[in-house]
Structure 1
Amino acid sequence: MRMIALALLLPTLAQAEEVAQIGVDWMGNDIVIEAVADPVVGGVTCHLAYFERSVLDRLSQGNWFEDPSNSAIQCSRTGPVDVGTLRPGTPEDVFSEGRSLLFKSLRIKRIYDAENRVLVYLAHASELGEGSAKMSMSTVPLLAGEVIAKPAP
């Protein structure tokens, strides 16, 4: 019951849809590309690419439970964009996916830069004990006719 209540309190995060999987070596390691539509803004789709280790690589490296934090992101306008409900300058979660058995995830955050009329999307790893400097960023400029939230005082 507590888990259901907790799930209702958490913000709705986007679901990823796999677009492609590209083999990169003979051990079976892949680069996975996923499409992630922004569930709040609408009209923006991000493509996230990340490395996925094979079972053979996990066994040979001795690190069974963890994938690397490397990722790349590119976001594009795919329809009308509405930023009327966003809080300028406040990072908001768009997507999160586990990258190890415990405590490590790959995340996408959105930041609304109202002054420059841009949505900024940041892909980064999040770890409980140790942060990672590995990140990737993409921006989506807002058009003149789109709803613009008022900057916070």
Structure 2
Amino acid sequence: MRKILTAALIAAPLLSAAAGAEQVGEVGVDWVGNDILIEAIEDPKVQGVTCHIAYFDRSFFDRITQGNWFEDPSNASIACRQTGPIKIGDIDRGPGGEKVFSESRSLIFKSLKVTRIFDEAHQTLIYLTHATELTEGSAKMSISTVPLYGSE
């Protein structure tokens, strides 16, 4: 049991670190160490677009007192903006879009994802942040759009 708890404590910080995301802010929300983290994510296939995602990061104290050691809430908020000249690469233009970013929110079963959908008729990129779970879907989501005025 002790080895499992030690592994969980070591793995928890690694779950919130994601390739392609840069932490740009951290706001403490209570005395037990729970925080709201803000990360910047540049779209790898659309030059000139940066998304900022805010999400809840549970503290060690919260994990031991509330149980559920291996999981963070699925709640997240997203805002995407043009941060330079926009140049669209080879993106999926289908109605299901394509995954831009994924970050584990539990040891194995839950992920926070950002999906990009191209609304060609309105020349707009739509960014949706949502959670995926192995057995239950989640209705928690947030959306942001970037209009493509005169982009390549």
Normalised TM-score (structure 2): 0.84
Given the superposition, is the C-alpha separation of residues 105 and 19 from structure 1 closer, same or farther in structure 2, using an over 3 Å criterion?
same
Separation in structure 2 between the aligned mates of residue 90 and residue 63 of structure 1, nearest angstrom? 32
- Mapped contact 1:14–1:37 kept (Cα < 8 A): no
What is the identity percentage for the equivalent residue pairs of Structure 1 and Structure 2?
A: 60
**Is residue 142 of structure 1 aligned with residue 151 of structure 2?**
no
Alignment correspondent of 1:99: 105
Alignment correspondent of 2:135: 129
Considering fraction of residues, name the structure with more helix.
2
Considering fraction of residues, name the structure with more strand.
2
Deviation at 1:80, TM superposition (A): 1.6
Given the superposition, is the C-alpha separation of residues 85 and 14 from structure 1 closer, same or farther in structure 2, using an over 3 Å criterion?
farther
Deviation at 1:84, TM superposition (A): 5.1
Separation in structure 1 between the aligned mates of residue 91 and residue 33 of structure 2, nearest angstrom? 41
Deviation at 1:42, TM superposition (A): 1.1
Structure 1 gap ranges (5+)? 1-12, 148-153
Deviation at 1:110, TM superposition (A): 0.3
Structure 2 gap ranges (5+)? 1-17
- Return the match for 2:44 from 39, 56, 66: 39
Deviation at 1:125, TM superposition (A): 0.6
Counting matched residue pairs gives: 134
Name the SS of the counterpart of 1:20 in structure 2: strand
Amino acid at match of 2:20: Q
| 1:70-112 deviation per Cα after TM superposition (whole angstroms, max 9, x unaligned) | 0000000011212352333341010001100111111100000
Name the SS of the counterpart of 2:47 in structure 1: coil
Aligned residues: CA RMSD? 1.4
| 1:2-56 deviation per Cα after TM superposition (whole angstroms, max 9, x unaligned) | xxxxxxxxxxx96100001110001110000000000011100000000000010
Alignment correspondent of 1:7: none
Separation in structure 2 between the aligned mates of residue 102 and residue 86 of structure 1, nearest angstrom? 28
Separation in structure 1 between the aligned mates of residue 72 and residue 89 of structure 2, nearest angstrom? 37
Given the superposition, is the C-alpha separation of residues 78 and 14 from structure 1 closer, same or farther in structure 2, using an over 3 Å criterion?
farther
